[in-house]
Each structure stands twice: as C-alpha cells, then as structure tokens.
Amino acid sequence: MPHLTPKGADVMMCFGIDVGKLRAARAPLCRECLDWNERCAHLVGNLGRAFLTRIEELGWAKRDRRTRILTFSHEGERAFNAFILNFSAEVGALSSA
C-alpha cells in the first residue's frame, strides 16, 4: 500500500498542501486505486484530492464537473512538468510498501 515518506510530506508542504491537516482527517491519506477505463493506478485519498485541488488553485488545470476529464493549460502543463522534474530526483517521496 502506498504511503507518504517524510521527504514526500516535505515536498507536498512546499507545494502548499498541509499534510498534517490531511493526516488528522478520517479518510485515508493516500491509497492506490485502479482506474478501470485506463487500466492504470492513480492516487486517491485526502492527498490525491488535495493535490488535484492545489493544481486547480494554481490554474494549471480545470476539471470538467460532468466527466472525469482534467484539462491542463499549456502553461499549466509546463509548470506541472517542471514540478515533477524538480522533485523526481527526491527518491522515495512516495513509495509502495
């Protein structure tokens, strides 16, 4: 089951997500879920919701409320890719155990 490492919590805090508040909630912090349409796993739980909300707050992407489609702006896609590249070297930010 996926879990957030201390380094991963630091990354999320730098991204503007209050991990302590998420941990205190009733819902699980993070879980893996299989998307039956895409046949690949994605992050769910409080962290997944907070991550998506933060992406929307930054204006990087918009959700179509009638579907599950998330559309990134060109600038948002560049910013998201830069975020991922900046922290991809941080091995173990999110690990499965």
Nearest to 48 by CA among 24, 28, 30: 30
- Place 89 in a pLDDT band, splitting at 50, 70 and 90: low
Nearest to 90 by CA among 13, 14, 11, 19: 11
Share of the chain above pLDDT 90, in %: 45
Asked whether residue 93 is assigned to any structural domain, the reply reads: no
Asked whether residue 95 is assigned to any structural domain, the reply reads: no
pLDDT at 59: 97
Per-residue pLDDT tens for 47-79? 999 999 999 999 999 999 898 789 999 999 999
pTM listed for this prediction: 0.79
Asked whether residue 96 is assigned to any structural domain, the reply reads: no
- Place 97 in a pLDDT band, splitting at 50, 70 and 90: very low
Asked whether residue 94 is assigned to any structural domain, the reply reads: no
Instruction: Give the total number of structural domains in the chain.
Output: 1
Tell me which residue range forms the domain holding 22: 2-88
Asked whether residue 97 is assigned to any structural domain, the reply reads: no
Asked whether residue 81 is assigned to any structural domain, the reply reads: yes
